[in-house]
């Protein structure tokens, strides 16, 4: 067995460090611009809203819709062929998909396809693994039960992914929402309209929360194209699923309905959201000491005992006490 020279080990470690430095320096360049990518997707959604509203107007005037049907993908063709379109296309599912950032019809079809075909594929894979590859010394019913259990996990996995994505998206929006209200208040008090104010805020808040920038851009598009402005405010409340956003949009609807100054309503809601964020920070700070109790008992106290009592124990056992 050949030994390794110290210079060879040093050269290998130097090479690894150089490669790691190059990768760390190139990572920001390899990452895509998430804000620009999502804004392009929002721009396509805005164009879809514009075409839909124009189609509605054309339908009311001429009795027909002049929109061309978009080409269907493979998943949509399979879903339509097996008539699975209405399996999970209820209103609640559509709202959850929008809250997760999935707005198009293809996303709904993909979710439906995954929840129906996924358990079948999972059951077939688990059965093949247990009965053919692994062949454990289990009864046949136990193997079938494990296969069914894995199929159920595949059925529940898309919903779990959707919930996690909704929670992550809501956390990002809720974190940047008070700052967005402050920016909106500045825009409104400077004389801008609500549409222009939301557009400016969406452009500025993107560095803090891309998700909030998306929603505000869609709100601007709906305020521009929808005939009823109240529907646009209700849509963003439904898409975010946050009570803070819903309260602000309700205040804006009431301000436009009764003619009250919009800046006053936004100022009050901005103060309330800042107070709620401060309360949330205080709650986290108050919950910190109980959380630190167990780590201190497990890690800090034994170290303190060793440092304090260690020399005494050494002197005692060596007879020098």
What pLDDT does 225 receive? 83
Same domain for 118 and 218, yes or no, is no
Domain co-membership, 240 together with 148: no
> Domains in the chain: how many in total?
3
pLDDT in tens, 248-303: 999 889 888 888 888 888 888 888 888 888 888 888 888 888 888 888 888 888 88
- Work out the angle at residue 181's Cα, subtended by the Cα atoms of residues 175 and 184, and round it to the nearest 5 degrees: 140
Q: Report helix, strand or coil for 118.
A: helix
Where is the domain boundary, 168, 199, 218?
168
Question: Quick one: 94 and 118 in the same domain?
Answer: yes
- The reported pLDDT for the residue numbered 268 is 87
Q: Do 281 and 307 belong together in one domain?
A: no
80, part of any domain: yes
* pLDDT of the residue at 150: 92
Q: Residues 39-73: pLDDT tens digits?
A: 666 666 666 666 665 565 555 444 443 333 344 56
Domain-embedded: residue 61? no
Distance CA 183, CA 270 (A): 10
Residue 114 lies in a domain: yes
* 178 and 275 housed in the same domain: yes
Q: What is the pLDDT of residue 173?
A: 93
Domain around 266: 172-286
- The answer on pLDDT for 189 being more than 60 is yes
- Residue 46 inside a domain? The answer is no
Tokens representing residue 194 in the block: 């609500």
Residue 249 and residue 175 in contact, taking contact as beta carbons nearer than 8 Å: no
- Are residues 221 and 45 in contact, defined by beta-carbon separation less than 8 angstroms? yes
Distance CA 45, CA 218 (A): 8
- The whole-number average pLDDT for the span 221-233 is 87
210 with 279, same domain?
A: yes
136 and 222 housed in the same domain: no
Q: What is the pLDDT of residues 236-255, one digit of tens each?
A: 999 999 998 999 999 889 88
> Running DSSP on this structure, what letter comes out for residue 65?
-
Same domain? For 203 and 163 the reply is: no
Asked whether residue 145 is assigned to any structural domain, the reply reads yes
Contact 234, 240 (CB under 8 A): no
- Examine the domain organization and report whether 130 and 204 are in the same domain: no
What's the rounded mean pLDDT across residues 151-174? 93
Geometric angle at alpha carbon 23, from 20 and 29, rounded to 5°:
160
Q: Are residues 92 and 184 both part of a single domain?
A: no
Domain-ending residue, one of 168, 189, 210: 168
Task: Please tell me whether residues 182 and 281 are part of one structural domain.
Answer: yes
pLDDT higher than 70, residue 310: yes
Q: Say what the pLDDT of residue 65 is.
A: 35
| Claim to verify: residue 161 and residue 185 sit in the same structural domain | no
Q: Is residue 126 part of a domain?
A: yes
**Which residue is it, tokens 């124990």?**
313
Which of 50-64, 106-120, 138-152 shows the highest mean pLDDT?
138-152
Token code pair at residue 204: 């500025």
The percentage of residues in the chain with a pLDDT greater than 70, rounded to a whole number, is: 72
């Amino acid at each position: 067995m050949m030994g390794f020279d110290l210079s060879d080990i040093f050269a290998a470690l130097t090479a690894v460090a150089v490669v790691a430095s190059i990768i760390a320096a190139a990572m920001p360049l390899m990452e895509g611009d998430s804000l620009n990518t999502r804004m392009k997707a929002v721009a396509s959604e805005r164009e879809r809203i514009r075409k839909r509203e124009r189609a509605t107007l054309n339908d009311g005037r001429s009795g027909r819709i002049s929109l061309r049907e978009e080409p269907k993908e493979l998943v949509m063709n399979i879903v339509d062929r097996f008539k699975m379109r209405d399996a999970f296309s209820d209103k609640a599912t559509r709202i959850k998909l929008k809250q997760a950032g999935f707005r198009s019809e293809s996303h709904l079809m993909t979710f439906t396809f995954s929840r129906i075909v996924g358990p079948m594929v999972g059951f077939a894979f688990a059965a093949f693994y247990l009965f053919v590859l692994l062949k454990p010394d289990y009864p046949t019913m136990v193997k079938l039960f494990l296969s069914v259990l894995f199929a159920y996990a595949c059925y529940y996995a898309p919903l779990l992914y959707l919930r996690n994505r909704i929670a992550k998206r809501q956390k990002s929006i809720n974190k940047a929402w008070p700052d967005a209200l402050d920016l909106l208040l500045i825009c409104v008090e400077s004389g801008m309209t609500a549409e222009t104010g939301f557009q400016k805020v969406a452009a500025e808040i993107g560095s803090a929360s891309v998700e909030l920038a998306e929603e505000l851009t869609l709100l601007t598009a709906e305020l521009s194209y929808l005939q009823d402005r109240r529907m646009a405010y209700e849509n963003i409340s439904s898409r975010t699923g946050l009570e803070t956003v819903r309260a602000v949009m309700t205040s804006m609807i009431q301000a436009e309905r009764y003619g009250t100054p919009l800046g006053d309503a936004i100022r009050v809601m901005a103060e309330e959201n800042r107070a709620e964020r401060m309360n949330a920070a205080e709650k986290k700070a108050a919950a910190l000491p109980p959380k630190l109790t167990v780590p201190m008992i497990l890690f800090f106290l034994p170290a303190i005992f060793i440092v304090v009592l260690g020399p005494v124990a050494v002197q005692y056992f060596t007879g020098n006490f």
